[in-house]
């Protein structure tokens, strides 16, 4: 069935360093790949998304890359700050995007040490 694997499950970096989170997906028909940030006590919040017709997208310190052939995509955060500490989820569209279904990865807890 449809599946998204996310690694690592935890990541600790020093402030100012870069952080990379990787995801692989199983459904070759997936065409939409959002990333969510979840802070303690809150719901996930969209931080960036990418569609299958694009290989890379950047928004200030955040970038996402997509390799459709290999079926994996990654989140890159540069110049990390303590406020980047949170749980990050990747997701891939399921049901060929027709039902709005998202398949989520297991999440990565990012800790940025001051």
Partner 1 sequence: EAQVTQNPRYLITVTGKKLTVTCSQNMNHEYMSWYRQDPGLGLRQIYYSMNVEVTDKGDVPEGYKVSRKEKRNFPLILESPSPNQTSLYFCASSLTGRNSPLHFGNGTRLTVT
- Residues at the interface with partner 1 (CB under 8 A): 4, 6, 31-32, 34, 36, 41-46, 49, 51, 89, 93, 97-102, 104-107
β-partners of residue 100 are none
Residue (15 or 46) nearer to partner 1, CB: 46
**Smallest distance from partner 1 to CB 70, Å:** 21
**Smallest distance from partner 1 to CB 15, Å:** 27
Q: Are 62 and 47 in contact (CB under 8 A)?
A: yes
Question: What does the block give as tokens for 14?
Answer: 């020093």
**Smallest distance from partner 1 to CB 14, Å:** 27
Residue (18 or 28) nearer to partner 1, CB: 28
Determine the Cα–Cα distance for residues 19 and 67; give it in Å rounded to an integer: 19
Determine the Cα–Cα distance for residues 44 and 37; give it in Å rounded to an integer: 5
**Smallest distance from partner 1 to CB 107, Å:** 6
91: phi then psi, degrees, rounded to nearest 5? -155, 155
β-partners of residue 112 are 13
83: phi then psi, degrees, rounded to nearest 5? -70, -5
């Amino acid at each position: 069935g449809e599946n998204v694997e996310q690694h690592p499950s935890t990541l600790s970096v020093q402030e100012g360093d870069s952080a990379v989170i990787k995801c692989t997906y199983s459904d070759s028909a997936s065409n939409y790949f959002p990333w969510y940030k979840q802070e303690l006590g809150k719901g996930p919040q969209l931080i960036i998304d990418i569609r299958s017709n694009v290989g890379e997208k950047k928004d200030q310190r955040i970038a996402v890359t997509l390799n459709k052939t290999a079926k994996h995509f990654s989140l890159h955060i540069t110049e990390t700050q303590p406020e980047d500490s949170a749980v990050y989820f990747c997701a891939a569209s399921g049901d060929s995007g027709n039902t709005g279904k998202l398949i989520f990865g297991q999440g990565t807890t990012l800790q940025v040490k001051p």
